[in-house]
Amino acid sequence: MNADRMRAPLPDDAPHVLVVDDDRRLRDLLARFLGDNGYRVTVAADAAEADTKLSNVMFDVLVLDVMMPGENGFDFAVRLRRDKEVPILMLTARTEPADRVQGLETGVEDYLSKPFEPRELLLRLGNILRRSAERTATPADVEQVRFGPFLFRLDRGELRKDGDILRLTDREREILVILSARRGDNVPRDVLAGQGAAANERTVDVQINRLRRKIEVDPANPAYLQTVRGIGYRLLIDG
Averaged pLDDT for residues 171-200: 79
CATH number at residue 217: 1.10.10.10
Q: Are residues 56 and 124 in the same domain?
A: yes
Domain span including residue 85 = 3-134
Q: How many domains, in total, are found in the chain?
A: 2
Task: Determine, yes or no, domain membership for 124.
Answer: yes
CB neighbours (10 Å) of residue 227? 13
Q: Are residues 106 and 149 in the same domain?
A: no
Lowest mean pLDDT segment, chosen from 80-94, 99-113, 168-182, 187-201? 187-201
Q: Are residues 62 and 162 in the same domain?
A: no
Q: Are residues 23 and 123 in the same domain?
A: yes
Q: What is the tens place of the pLDDT at every residue in 43-59?
A: 999 999 999 999 888 89
pTM for the full model?
Answer: 0.57
Domain end (from 107, 134, 161): 134
Predicted confidence at residue 144, as pLDDT, reads: 86
* Residue 162: pLDDT over 50: yes
Angle separating helix axes 201-215 and 170-181, nearest 10 degrees? 90
CB neighbours (10 Å) of residue 38? 13
Residues 6+ apart with CB under 8 A from 238: 145, 146, 147, 148
Q: Are residues 92 and 210 in the same domain?
A: no
**Average pLDDT value over all residues in the chain:** 83
CATH number at residue 90: 3.40.50.2300
Lowest mean pLDDT segment, chosen from 17-21, 90-94, 98-102, 173-177? 98-102
Task: Determine, yes or no, domain membership for 9.
Answer: yes
Pairing of strands 187-188, 164-166: unpaired
Please report, rounded to a whole number, the percentage of residues in the chain having pLDDT higher than 90: 41
Q: Are residues 124 and 159 in the same domain?
A: no
- Burial of 93-111, coded b for 16+ CB within 10 Å and e otherwise, reads eeeeeebbebbbbbbbbbb
Domain end (from 134, 156, 177): 134
Q: Are residues 11 and 127 in the same domain?
A: yes
Q: What is the tens place of the pLDDT at every residue in 14-47?
A: 899 999 999 999 999 999 999 999 999 999 999 9
Q: Are residues 128 and 34 in the same domain?
A: yes
Q: CA-to-CA distance for 24 and 113, rounded, in angstroms?
A: 18
Task: Determine, yes or no, domain membership for 139.
Answer: no
Q: Which of 43, 8, 5, 3 has the alpha carbon at shortest distance from 26?
A: 43
Domain end (from 105, 134, 163): 134
